[in-house]
């Protein structure tokens, strides 16, 4: 009965928070949510879907949905990356190509940006005059943590990166533990 009362109070609190927000503001996940058997870890291979408009990174395993984490990006516009220096996070299908402990941002999971699809979009934008003829495509995009003791930027949905995806340090450490090179990452708006 205690659990029912706790769940009911949490649900009612969530409903009132959602009802009090402006209709134009998306509902954003403020903390990670995991499948009930999450202590066992993901089953088999995993894939990642990053939804920029919802500020979420969702992990799927062979059983289906595994976990969802709050994330932030580069620009508030959430536009697709057009060129080096625009601070936009690229959209498309990528793979983790390497990972390492990072001296500033806890962990870094490097993505294979730019892909062939990225080069095609870049070339088309140049041809249409949407970006300067001398623009470069950029690189070094990945999933990483935040500066030590600065998880609050994730809690506040403060976009701060140069185009990467940023997570709380404890959560990027968790993700780092069960992903590796070859893990697919889909980024969409």
- So where are the chain's domains? 28-188
The string of pLDDT tens digits covering residues 146-157 is: 999 999 999 999
The string of pLDDT tens digits covering residues 51-65 is: 999 999 999 999 999
CA angle at 126 for the pair 125 and 131, rounded to the nearest 5°: 80
Class of 28-188 per CATH? mainly beta
> In terms of Cα–Cα distance, which of 4, 9, 67, 82 is closest to 34?
67
C-alpha distances (whole Å) from 113 to each of 5, 67, 106, 180 are 47, 24, 21, 16
Instruction: Give the model's pLDDT for residue 35.
Output: 86
Residue 61: count of CB within 10 angstroms of its CB: 17
pTM of the complete model: 0.84
Which residues touch 187 (CB under 8 Å, ≥6 apart)? 50, 52, 89, 90, 91, 92, 94, 165
The string of pLDDT tens digits covering residues 78-125 is: 999 999 999 999 999 999 999 999 999 999 999 999 999 999 999 999
For residues 126-135, average pLDDT: 96
Dihedral Cα 176, 142, 74, 46, nearest 10 deg:
-50
């Amino acid at each position: 009965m205690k659990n029912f009362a706790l769940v009911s109070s949490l649900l009612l609190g969530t409903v009132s928070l959602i009802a009090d927000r402006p209709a134009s503001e998306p509902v954003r996940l403020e903390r990670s949510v995991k499948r009930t058997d999450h202590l066992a870890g993901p089953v088999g291979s995993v894939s990642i879907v990053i939804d920029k408009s919802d500020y979420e990174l969702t992990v799927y395993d062979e059983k289906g949905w595994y976990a969802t984490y709050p994330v932030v990006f580069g620009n508030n516009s959430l536009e697709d990356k057009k060129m080096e220096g625009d601070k936009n996070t690229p959209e498309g299908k990528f793979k983790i190509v390497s990972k390492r402990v990072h001296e500033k941002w806890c962990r870094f999971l490097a993505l294979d940006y730019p892909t062939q699809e990225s080069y095609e979009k870049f070339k088309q934008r140049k041809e249409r005059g949407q970006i300067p003829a001398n623009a470069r495509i950029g690189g070094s995009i990945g999933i990483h943590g935040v500066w030590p003791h600065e998880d609050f930027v994730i809690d506040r949905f403060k976009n701060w990166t140069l185009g990467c995806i940023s997570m709380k340090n404890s959560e990027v450490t968790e993700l780092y533990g069960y992903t590796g090179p070859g893990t697919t990452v889909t980024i969409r708006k």
